[in-house]
Amino acid sequence: MILIKNGHVVDPQNNLNDKFDILIEKGEIKKIEKNIQPFPGCEVIDAEGKIITPSFTDIHVHFRDPGQIYKEDIESGSKAAVAGGYTTVVCMPNTIPAIDDVPIVRYIIEKGEEVGLCRVLPSAAITKGRKGKELTEMALLKDAGAVYFTDDGAPVMDSFIMRKAMEYAGSLGTFVADHCEDLNLSQNGVAHEGELAATLGLPPLPPEAEDTMVARDCILSIQTGMPVHICHISSKLSVEIVAWAKAMGAKVTAEVTPHHLYLTDEEFLDFSCIAKVSPPLRSHEDIEATRWALASGIIDFVATDHAPHAHYEKMQDLQACPPGMLGLQFALPIVLELVKKDYFDLNRMVEVMSIEPAKKIGLKPPQIKEGEIAELTIFDPFETWEVNEETILSKSKNTPLLGRKLTGKVKYTFFKGKIVYRD
């Protein structure tokens, strides 16, 4: 038995936003009350000054397994996930080979279960080999356990294929998610097109590359009546387009990454590849737009786009180095900072980190409620920690945050009633 004492419990699903004790017996939440007395044989967790919420769900991670496990694998990725307070993650299909066939879908699920730290679910590719030409066997892939479809890392450039994919996935009761980037507009761009890229002479990547594809997807969704999910939205105009589409009644949802909520293109000031990510880090104005959109619900939730790369890959020149950065362990402190700066409250934080992403993939979100299996995250909102080689649990260490301090630290993560992470 575990007794969690004096934590501030936040779960808008159960109108909880106050100090409570939580008693967990055989993995199940037995009692949520003020002042439960400890008894012999029961482990007591002192949660004074800590916040307890339902654990988090991230529908966008790259665990590089199979094919590039020198960057990350399902085990190391799971460790980073639970250290970030997550107990459900969805792997992207840009593995080698791509997740476009039933045995690979099964492999991800089975390996995730074998590691057992959290729920590791696969998405599957929209098109075979993620080449954008021919649809995958969506019905078979869904039956095998793929939770949605995306060619992430690459857009579906052909609008006719995208329309068919939307209709097909929608009719199966799931959805497509698009990495919105018009490759004809992005060319070999690296940095957000703006003053900074011009001053530094960096190859510019215009925001229209994202905006035009977001607009196309929204229009296709309106026209087909089928859902579409916008991956890693990052520009102010894209946010406005999604707001318009939602007002038109489109079944459009959007996610934003911690780095697009927190870092600007100024990370390129030292010409470092560590700042290269797709879509690129943008301007202060774009960041403000995504923050307020997350607060208002125009953006539905946070997804990390956790994208590990080896050190030597990120040491190449700006053109050659692959885009992407880590995210799983930084989402909580970054989103918490937005709470501290009054963009939104703790209830909204739980919605965007836990409830909404779980619902999006058809899962019942974890709840802090008597009779439920404990899936919760306990964090210290004021503990400051340094991002470094030791504190990052991923195999790769690629993040511009290296050497910087963040405030907000996960102390315990419970999955299926068990403690899977303890700081």
Residues making up the binding site for substrate? 62-64, 94, 309, 323-324
H-helix or E-strand containing 266?
Answer: none
Whole-angstrom Cα distance, residue 117 to residue 97?
Answer: 24
Helix, coil or strand: residue 58: strand
Helix, coil or strand: residue 315: coil
H-helix or E-strand containing 147?
Answer: none
What is the contact mask toward Zn ion in residues 283 to 322, using x (rule: CB under 5 A)? Answer: ----------------------------------------
The strand pairing partners of 396, in sequence order, are none
- Sole residue written with tokens 């190859």: 203
Q: Which one from 151, 211, 300, 305 is the annotated catalytic residue?
A: 305
Q: Compute the least distance from the CB of residue 232 to Zn ion, in Å.
A: 5
What is the contact mask toward Zn ion in residues 223 to 262, using x (rule: CB under 5 A)? Answer: --------x-------------------------------
Q: Measured from the CB atom, is 102 or 161 closer to Zn ion?
A: 161
Round to the nearest angstrom and report the end-to-end CA distance of the chain. 19
- Token pair for residue 22? 């939580």
Alpha-helix residue ranges (DSSP H) falling in 225-322:
236-247, 258-262, 284-296, 311-314
Q: Compute the least distance from the CB of residue 150 to Zn ion, in Å.
A: 8
State the DSSP code for 55: P
Contact criterion met (CB below 8 Å) for 66 and 103: no
Contact criterion met (CB below 8 Å) for 236 and 289: yes
What is the contact mask toward Zn ion in residues 145 to 184, using x (rule: CB under 5 A)? Answer: -------x--------------------------x-----
Q: β-strands 56-61, 86-91: how paired?
A: parallel
Binding residues: 60, 62-64, 94, 152, 179, 232, 305, 309, 323-324
Q: Compute the least distance from the CB of residue 94 to Zn ion, in Å.
A: 8
What is the contact mask toward Zn ion in residues 186 to 225, using x (rule: CB under 5 A)? Answer: ----------------------------------------
Give the residue nearest to Zn ion (CB).
Answer: 179
Q: Compute the least distance from the CB of residue 230 to Zn ion, in Å.
A: 10
Q: Measured from the CB atom, is 29 or 61 closer to Zn ion?
A: 61
Q: Measured from the CB atom, is 152 or 356 closer to Zn ion?
A: 152
Q: Compute the least distance from the CB of residue 155 to Zn ion, in Å.
A: 9
Using CB under 5 A, count the residues that bind Zn ion: 3
Binding residues for Zn(2+): 60, 62, 152, 179, 232, 305
- Give the residue among 348, 210, 337, 204 at the shortest CA–CA distance from 286: 210
Q: Interhelix angle for 208-224 vs 236-247, to 10°?
A: 10
The strand pairing partners of 252, in sequence order, are 228
State the DSSP code for 351: I
Q: Measured from the CB atom, is 264 or 278 closer to Zn ion?
A: 278
- Token pair for residue 47? 């949660």
CA 204 to chain centre: 26
Q: Compute the least distance from the CB of residue 255 to Zn ion, in Å.
A: 10
Q: Measured from the CB atom, is 179 or 291 closer to Zn ion?
A: 179
Whole-angstrom Cα distance, residue 261 to residue 259?
Answer: 5
Q: Compute the least distance from the CB of residue 278 to Zn ion, in Å.
A: 6
Phi, psi of 301 (to 5 degrees): -165, 180
Whole-angstrom Cα distance, residue 186 to residue 206?
Answer: 6
Whole-angstrom Cα distance, residue 407 to residue 341?
Answer: 13
Catalytic residue check, 305:
yes
- Token pair for residue 399? 């993040």
Which three-class secondary structure string do you get for 62-101?
CCCCCCCCCCCCHHHHHHHHHHCCEEEEEECCCCCCCCCC
Q: Measured from the CB atom, is 118 or 231 closer to Zn ion?
A: 231
Q: Compute the least distance from the CB of residue 321 to Zn ion, in Å.
A: 16
- Positions annotated as catalytic residues are 305
Tell me which residues touch Zn ion (CB under 5 A): 152, 179, 231
